[in-house]
Amino acid sequence: MSNFNPRPLLTRLLYRLRRDGFALGISEYLAALEAIEGGWGVQDASALKKLLRSLWCHSLAQQDHLEVIFASLSAEESQEQAKSGEVSSQSSQSSSSSSPNLSTVSSERQVTSMVESSTTVPELSLFPVKSPINLLEQTEDRDFKAYYPISRRYMVYSWRYLRRMVADGREDILDVERTIAQVCQQGFFLKPKYSRREQNHADLLLLLDQEGSMTPFHRFTRDLVETAQYESNIGQVRVGYFHNLPAEYIYRDPYLTQKTLLASVLAECDANTSILIVSDGGAARGARRSERFSATAKVLWHIKQHTKLIAWLNPTPPERWQGSTAQFIAHLVPMYPLDDHDLNLAIAQIR
């Protein structure tokens, strides 16, 4: 039975990786704990590292970074264990050296106690001492309890419902009913019948508002793109970025440097293409501009000429939409706020 306890090392790794930019939160920490309780990663440090590589790392660069952090923490822990072993050995040596003089020490204590009992000594009380405050732990705990409207793990679950299954895969699934029907028709069995595997042919186009009033939501939009592209079974995922409204041009990168025509992107869409627009629609600043509304209405009209599977995801709460441009855009396209339930409704709308 191994004496390895992975929990202290797991907590230290979580804090260190979060400081280095890893997108880790309560859900990822609880998933690791659940895996440890199930018997994964409890054999030794290498088993724990293998478990965290599969749970927390989403690229080869993150796996290499985890290797470096894990090696440094393991070295620190081994040094601490060596120091504690030295201290325990020194204490045992001191106790063994002082054991022959126990009788003399006890006699001296009896003499001192008799002298103290003969003289009156004033009563003493403990002096109040304020315990030190560990600022680093408080900072890490405050960061650890950060709140996000939708977790990355919930996004992965929600994308599973965006599917358009077509049986055009490999013909390797046993079809029992057709096999029995063939046997009944021929009177004897020659070979089984197989059917084709179903594959997800869903086509998703994400149009994301970038910079300006959407800057506080960049973390959410980045997770939305990464989960759709790398952690879902959607057949094709394309991403376009814009600023305030998708006008004549959109961009293929979040830094708004690679320009492309919106018409060329829409030309690749058909009636089965799902389009999800993520923007505050002017609700973050509470602005109501007629030119923005008319330009957005023109873009939505062009999009609807290619597909009707379109929805708008607004990261601001619905009460902020009142009196802004978003209130009027919501009459042109189904608009949903940013939470778990409405993300599922938006995916159901574009499915």
State the CB neighbour count (10 A cutoff) for residue 11. 15
**CA distance linking residue 40 with residue 48, whole number of Å:** 7
pLDDT at 300: 92
Q: What is the pLDDT of residue 74?
A: 75
For residue range 230-247, list pLDDT tens digits in order: 988 898 999 999 998 888
DSSP of 39-91:
TSS-S-HHHHHHHHHHHH--SHHHHHHHHHHHHHHHHHHHHHHHHHHHHHHHH
Q: Give every residue of the chain whose pLDDT is below 50, as ranges.
A: 97-100, 102-105, 111, 115-122, 124-127, 129-147
Q: At what angle do helices 26-37 and 45-56 cross, to 10 degrees?
A: 140
HEC string of 217-235 equals HHHHHHHHHHHHHHCCCCC
At 187-215, the pLDDT tens digits run 888 888 888 888 888 899 999 999 888 88
Q: What is the pLDDT of residue 135?
A: 44
The residue type at 319: E
Sign of CA pseudo-dihedral 237, 240, 246, 249: negative
- Block residue for tokens 């339930």: 341
Q: Give SS3 for 9.
A: helix
Q: What is the pLDDT of residues 100-120, one digit of tens each?
A: 454 444 555 554 555 444 444
State how far Cα 251 lies from the chain centre.
26
Per-residue confidence (pLDDT) for residue 237, from 0 to 100: 92
Pairing status of strand 194-200 against strand 273-278: unpaired
Query: From CA 316, how far away is CA 157, in angstroms rounded?
Result: 22
Delimit the domains of the chain by residue range.
6-77, 167-199, 201-350
- What pLDDT does 100 receive? 47
Domain 201-350 architecture: 3-Layer(aba) Sandwich (3.40)
Distance, CA of 316 to CA of 146 (rounded, Å): 18
Report the 10 Å Cβ neighbour count for 263: 10
Residue 314 pLDDT: 92
Q: Would you tell me how many other CB atoms lie within 10 Å of the CB of residue 220? A: 20
- Residue 98: per-residue pLDDT: 46
Predicted confidence at residue 141, as pLDDT, reads 43
- How far is it, in rounded angstroms, from Cα 149 to Cα 107? 71
The pLDDT of residue 108? 52
Residue 207: strand pairing partners: 240, 277
